[in-house]
Amino acid sequence: MQNYIRKRAVKVAQYIIKTSNTVRQTAEVFGISKSTVHKDVSERLPRIDMKLAQEVKEILEKNKAERHIRGGEATRQKYAGSKEVTL
């Protein structure tokens, strides 16, 4: 594994731990794809630092468990402005 990939994986992990952001939010901040973030934290990071990988895994599992709530809230906000009744 190349050094810049190792450094990126650790930085991504530290960012997720610090902010508790989702994979999508993290990918946007770092300018990389969601697939890259996921691969960095689920495949590469355990080979670099197992403890850090476990911390990130717990946060991502929490985010996954809560995603239906975030999705419902986003939908509610989307339609909050349109109170018109259509028949």
At 72-86, the pLDDT tens digits run: 777 777 888 766 555
pLDDT, tens digit, for every residue of 14-65? 999 999 999 999 999 999 999 999 999 999 999 999 999 999 999 999 988 8
| DSSP string for residues in 1-64 | --HHHHHHHHHHHHHHHHH---HHHHHHHHTS-HHHHHHIIIIIHHHH-HHHHHHHHHHHHHHH
User: What pLDDT, on a 0 to 100 scale, did the predictor assign at position 42?
Assistant: 94
* Structural contact between residues 58 and 41, judged by C-beta atoms closer than 8 angstroms: no
